[in-house]
Structure formats: structure tokens, C-alpha cells
Structure 1
Amino acid sequence: MTFKTKLLFITILPLVAVSFLIGGATYYQSRKLINAETQSVEQRILAAKRQEIRNYVSLALTSIEQIYAEEPGGREAAQEEVREILENLTFDYDGYFFVYTLDGTNVVHPKLPHLVGGNWWDLQDDNGDYVIRNLIAAAKSGGGFHQYVWHKPSTGSIEEKLGYAILLNKWDWMLGTGLYTDDIAREVAAIRSDFAHSIRQTLLVTFLITLVGIIIAGGLIAGVRFSEQRFADSKLKELTNRIFQVQEQERKRVSTELHDSISQLLVSVRYGVEMIHSEATRDPDLQVQAAKCLKTLDGTIAEVRRISRDLRPSVLDDMGLAAALGSLGKEIQSQSGITVNVDAEQCHSRLSDGAKTALYRVVQECMTNVARHSQANKVNINLKVGMQSLTLSVEDNGVGLPRPLPKAGGLGFRNMRERIETYGGKLILSRRSSGGTRIKVQMPLDNAAAEAA
């Protein structure tokens, strides 16, 4: 075996092995992420449905509260009036209310009128569950949920349903309603499909990069003897850049999902609680509880929006790097109490979106380190745009770097440097003479755009 052949194997085999290891690790971790994310989404949707059902029941109780309490015209007349109200009280396409006496006799069922008047104590669903018995038991226990399968009016099919029942003690009635949960399965399946598609694309890109690397390595080794280390560094940077891109894409997707889906669901729930609060004038305790729920929901909505903003700040895409740095400075100042001064010039279209994101992430990492380790009370962020390049500096007045100054820095510093070097820039870490730390970035601008400017 010739030296060139040995060199070829020494170069290619580790590349192939690393590619398979990265692909396998990526696939394994992605599968774990899919399972965790889908379970989390499923639990959040189910919790939202539970709250929505409680809201509907509360609205129904509000609509019959006066009749139930005062029984105008006698009990039979009051019960008949309540039956009429509940018969006509529906929501969504398949939402309705039902009433059973405690021996299992149906009193109200607007979607299946043939059930009215019959005793369904022994009724079982397709899974063998005693539906009416269990709903009555949940109502007797103080009100509760029960999951079963039931006829869905809009489709005529049998679907999973989450029911909720409460007890009207004075009349020995069980009042209940529910929501069909087949949409949860569809949404979870769609999320899994999106994740699986992203995994396949990532693996395909990884293996394509590996294939290109093997072809390049073979061609170069056939012509000249070259440095294995330089080639490995080049491929590693490509792979790191791709990982950063995939990470930013995923952050942006998750941020959009949080803002457009989960946040909207919480706002919808808040409207329901706000309606309860406004309608509960006769019950001060209920009004106090509703006010507490509103306060908790406001905090939750703010937290979801904060997480969405941290994952991918929309101001970076909408208004540019300078505005994003100003917003970040204000946020850090409000959270940590550190005075943050931002002086940033607009770079407009003279930087790619990837380069703007890299600069923003560098400043974000710097501010995190300052808040955690520097003991500083003031930070200056400066972004100056020249004709051919820009200069970004982050300076604090904290305790400074340890002596001797680390050459490579920690993992966070290496990540920052790799991000900047991907776009042809240079990152310098230094100690200020007056105390504190300075991180300086120089990055070239687009030459054509610079000449036009």
C-alpha cells in the first residue's frame, strides 16, 4: 500500500466515522427532542382544553344560576326552563351540554334527543367504559374530568372526548359537557412530521457534506500532498456553520409557534376568565379567584412572549441590527440593573442576515457573561460602520479577566469566535487598562454595497 493510499485512508476513514457518529447522535437526540416536545405540546393543549371546558361550564351555570336558586313558578317549571336553556346553549361545532339524574336517566341532550327520558346507567362506550356512571361519580366527587369515546355530531364518527361533570345538588342533577380531543392527535402527528422532515434534511446535508469532503480529499491527495489538519479544520467550520444555521432556524420556528399558537391560546383563555370575572358580581369569592387567575394568565403570557423573544428577537428581522442591540440593552438593564449604553449605527443591507445574527448572538453571550461573572454596573456597546468593515465593541467595568489571560477562552468564547470567523471577521478578547473586559469584533462589509454607499 502506497503512502498516498495510506494518507487517503487516514483522511477519509475518520471523516466517514465522524459523519456517522454525528448523524447517529443527531438522530438519537432529535428523536428524544421530538418525544419531549410532542408530550409537552400535548399536555399544554390538554390543559388548555380542560380550562376551556371549565369556562363553558361556568358560563352555563351563570345562565341558569338565578332560575336554579329562586325556582320561579315552582321546581318543575324552573327545571323545564333550565332544560330549554341548556338545549339551546351550544358552542363550536360539536359543543353542547347534557344533564342526567343520579340514577342515570337523561334529562337534556340536544345532539342525541333519543337519549332523553331513557335510563343509561349501564351504557358503555366502544372501550367498555361505563360513561354515565363515571361522569356521575366525577360530579359527586366535587366536579371532575372523565375521558371516553363518544359520537361526534359534525362527522358522525366515534372519537375521543374529554368530559367534565358537576353536581346540581338541589335537583340531584349531573350537568356536564366536553370537548373532542381528536384534534390533539392530529396536531401532535403534524409536529412529529415537521420534526422528522427537519431531521432528514439535517442528516442529508451532513452526509452530502461528508461526500463532498471525500471527493475533494481524494482529488487533492491524487495531485499533491497536503495538510490533513487544514482540511479537517475547513470541514469542521463548515459543519459548525451548518449547525448554527439549523439552530437559528429551529429557534425561529419554535419562537413563531410560541408567539402565534401558545400565546394566542392563553389570550383566548384570558378572555374567558375575564368574562367570568365580569359576570361574578354576585359572588365575591368567585370574582377574587377570577382576578387571581387573570393575574396568573398575564404573567404566563408575558413569560411566553419573553421566551419567544429570547429564542429569536423579531426586532432583528424587522428593524435591523442596531435596533435589536438597543432593545437587548434595555432588556438586560431592566433585568439585571446594570446600566447599558448602546451606540449603534445602521448597517442596512451591507451585512447578510447570517452575519447580523452572529453579531447579535455575540453581544447576547457577552451580556450574559457580564451579568453572571463580571460584577459590573456599567456596559458600553458600540457599533461603528465604515466603508469596508464594521467594528463592534462590548466593554464593562467589572472585575476583568483572570491572570494570565486565557488564550482560547471557554466554550462560550470559542462559539463566539467561530460565529464571527464564519463570516470572515475577527474577534479579540482583552483586558481594559481601567478595569473590566473588552470584546472587539471586526467584520468586513459587502464590497459592492460599500462602493455603492
Structure 2
Amino acid sequence: MQLRQKVIFLAITPLILALCAIAWAVRHQSVLLAEQQRATIQQAYLSSKEAELKHYVTLASHSISHLYDSGRNDVDTRQEAMRILSSLSYGDDGYFFLYDMQGNTLMHPRQPELVGQNLFELRDERGQPTIQNLLQRARAGGGLERYMWIKPSTHKPVAKLGYVVAMPKWGWMMGTGIYLDDVERALEKIDVQQSGNIQNTMLWIAGIAVAASVAIASSGLALNISELRVADAKLKVLAQRVVESQEEERARLSRDLHDGISQWLVSIKLQIEAGIIRLSSAKPGQREAAQAVFEHAADQLSNVMGEVRRISHNLRPAILDDLGLAAALHHLGQEYTLSSGTPVHFEASGCTDGLPDVANTVLFRVAQEALTNIERHAGAHRIDIALSGAEAGVTLRIQDDGAGFDAEGIAEHPKRGIGLRNMMERMEAIGGRFDIVSSDGGTVLTAYAGNHV
């Protein structure tokens, strides 16, 4: 995985984790709120139904109070009370029922087949004694009781909330109730709605996560493309500079070979031929003249050998590999002084032997390029080269008292400052630092290379 891809991955991963944590927290809180809301709605709904049932029982009691409070306990009076209660109803499944205190069914408008049956031992599907619990609630002063009962409209057992009261003068238990399946259906609708809201919230968070991830990935991709284009452009410029540098080096070598070694070799050839002619001549004194010619040719061969060594040294000084950077820079300064006449003062301090070979080469090339630029453009009368070593790296400082130049302007000029850009790029390639300050009083160049390139 490339570095840019790792950066994008490290940017997206915390975002996804954070959104997942937010989604979990939101869902957890939403579920808790939904449960609380459901419980609140259920409690409010049941409270309203309980009040409604109590009101119904009160109305039923008032409807037969003239009979119950008359003090009569005959069969006709009771039958009239049963008739009145059986005629009272509300909704499809709202009715009143009567039992005696032994569990015998006295009246049941929706299930007349139960009349006359003793249901004292009746138990629901969970094993709870239905009529016994109702009778116990009535004897305790009346109130609400929840139990299972067959719903007349569906003929299926459904949870029912009943309200019963005792009528001790006649030995009755009167009550009514509502079936809770409607309540459960209403609560199920609320559950479905809340579940849908939670799901929509999760989808929104997921959509935001996907959109954010796509945005980050797109931005990273666009940045990669942009950087690749810039890198490609820089690579093309660098390749062009390499080619230009190679051509310049070849042109310099060609000039050195043509203007120096080639002419000297031609001159030596002509002198040797002249010496051979003089040796073959019988005239007196020609042998001495031939000897002088050969001696001059030998001197020129020595010059040729020196020129070859100079060119070889410029290409890759052997002293750099044999004795190190400090000795190579000192030798470079001496040669510059001999060739240009400008004195070069070299000073080395600290340990400068810890640099890798590539860093030594780069600093040496920087010094070569700097001296070449000074000779061509600065017109300096004095040059100081200082090499200082430390535990972290080595610093090269080259100072001259020349005319100076606009460093920033030349570095940005497309056709000028090739040598300056070469020095900068060489230092960047090894992770070093390069700085140059120039004014009318001279130029100071500083290059730093670390011991761990």
C-alpha cells in the first residue's frame, strides 16, 4: 500500500469508527426512548381505560340502584335487574356479566351458553384461576383485574382488563371489561413506527458515512492525480536537466580533449616525425637537434598526462574515495587557486568521516558547482570553504566576496540558474538542506547533510 493510500485509509478509518460509535449510541438511545415512550403511552392508555371501566360500572350500578336499594330480594326483582344489565352494552365487545359468590354464571349477554354453569375452577392457558381471582377482587372491595377470556367477535382467547364490584345483598359479583388486543395493536403500530424511525436514522448516518468516505477518497484521488501530474512534470524537467547536464559535460570534455590533449598530441606527433627525419639525416649537428625535439615532446607528454589526470579528477576524484571529503575539498581548493589565481582558504573542524558515500559525493559536487559559478560570474578575490562535522551530520559553507546575484530570481528563471537548481536538487535527493544568501558584498552558500541519508 502506497503512502498516499495509507494516509487516505487512516483518514477514513477514524471517521467510520466515529460514525459507527455515533450510530450505536443513537440507536441505543432511540431504543431506550422508544421503550419509555411505549411504556408511557401504554400506561396512559390503560389509565384511561381503567377510568372508563370504573365509570361504566358506576353507571350500571346506578341503572339498577332503584331495585337493589329497594330492599326486595325476590326472583322478579333480580330478573328485572338482570334484564336491565344485559341490555347495557358499549362497542362490539362491551357488556356486563353477573356471577354469584360460588362462581355460577348468572348473566352473560355475549355467551349465554355459560349461564347456569359453575366456573369457579376455570383456569386460563397460563393456569391462573379466572373466576376465583375476580371473586377475590370483588370481596376486597372491587377493582381492576387482568385475565384471559374468549373474545366474542373473534372467538379467540385475548387478554382482558376487567372491573368488578360485589353486590352483597343479592350475593352477586357484577363486572365488565375491555379486551386488550386493540391496545396491543395500537402499541404494535407505535413499535413499527419507532422501528422505522430508528432504521431511517441509521440509514441517514450510513449515508453520511458513505458520502464522507467518498468525499475523502475523491479528494485523496484528486490530490494524488494532481501530485502525480506535478511529479510527472518535475520528472520531465529533471530528465531534461539531466540531459542538458550530460550534454554540457560532454561538451566540456570535448573542448578539453580538442583544445588541450588533441592539440598536444598533434604537436607531439609532428615533433617526433621531425626528430625521426633529423636522426636519419647525415648532416652534422642533426642528432643534437633531434634530441632537443624528443625532449620537448616528452615535456608535452607530461603535460598531456597532467591534463588527463585533471579531467579524471573532475569526473571522479580518487582522493575523495581514498582520503575522504575534507582532503578532496582541500585539494579542490588548491587546484582552483592554481587555475584561477583566486586564493581559496579551506578549514575543516569536527568529525566529517561519518557521511555515506553518496552524501560525500553530493557535497563535493556542490563545492565544484559553487567554485565554477564563482569563477564565471562572481569576480571574487577571496573564497573561504569551511567543513564542520557534528554527531548529526556535516555542514559545508562556501563564502566569497564577489559581486553577488539575485538568488531567488535566477533559481526561478527557466533558462538560467541550472547550476544552482542542480545543487538544490542534489541536496534534496539525500534529504539535506541547502541555503544561499547573496548581496553586493558577496555570497554565502550553506549545505547540510545528515549522517543517515
Give the TM-score normalised by structure 1. 0.48
- Tell me which structure has the larger Cα radius of gyration: 2
Q: Which one has more relative contact order, counting CA pairs under 8 Å at least 6 apart?
A: 1
